[in-house]
Structure formats: structure tokens, C-alpha cells
């Protein structure tokens, strides 16, 4: 499990996939979410703009990301 630090909450799901390199572009990130290939907190998530906050766990393509918030 890899920890991902966010500096503001919430963050849209597709942006995390893009910025963490799990998708090459925002369009690709949106497509894999829409196809039901991403889980948030162990539940399939198909909403591209799902709001992600600290404590959420994202699973995709064999990777598990745990989201943590850190103020700047």
C-alpha cells in the first residue's frame, strides 16, 4: 500500500489516478473509472468526480493507495 499525501480536500478521483501515474491522462483516468475498474474503500466506483478525502483507499491495476491529508 502506498500513501498519497494531498494538500487540500476533497480531490476528484480521476485527478489522483492521473497525478499518481496510474493513468497517462485525465481522459484515460475517467475511462477506467467509468468502466468499473477502480475501487474506493473496497467498493467499485464509477463516478469520475467522486470526492476523495483523507482515509480513503483507492485500488486500481494492482496498486493500493491510501490517502492522507497534510496542511501546507
- Domain map of the chain by residue range? 2-69
Mean pLDDT value across the chain: 97
**71 pLDDT exceeds 90?**
no
Q: Are 66 and 16 in contact (CB under 8 A)?
A: no
pLDDT of residue 44: 98
pTM recorded for the entire structure:
0.95
Average pLDDT for 10-33: 97
Calculate Rg over the CA atoms of the chain. Answer: 11
Under CATH, domain 2-69 is a member of which superfamily? Answer: RNA-binding S4 domain (3.10.290.10)
Amino acid at each position: 500500500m502506498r500513501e498519497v499525501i494531498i494538500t487540500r480536500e476533497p480531490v476528484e478521483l480521476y485527478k489522483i489516478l492521473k497525478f499518481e501515474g496510474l493513468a497517462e491522462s485525465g481522459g484515460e483516468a475517467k475511462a477506467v473509472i467509468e468502466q468499473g475498474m477502480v475501487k474506493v474503500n473496497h467498493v467499485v466506483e464509477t463516478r469520475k468526480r467522486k470526492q476523495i478525502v483523507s482515509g480513503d483507499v483507492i485500488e486500481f491495476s494492482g496498486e493500493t493507495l491510501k490517502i492522507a491529508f497534510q496542511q501546507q
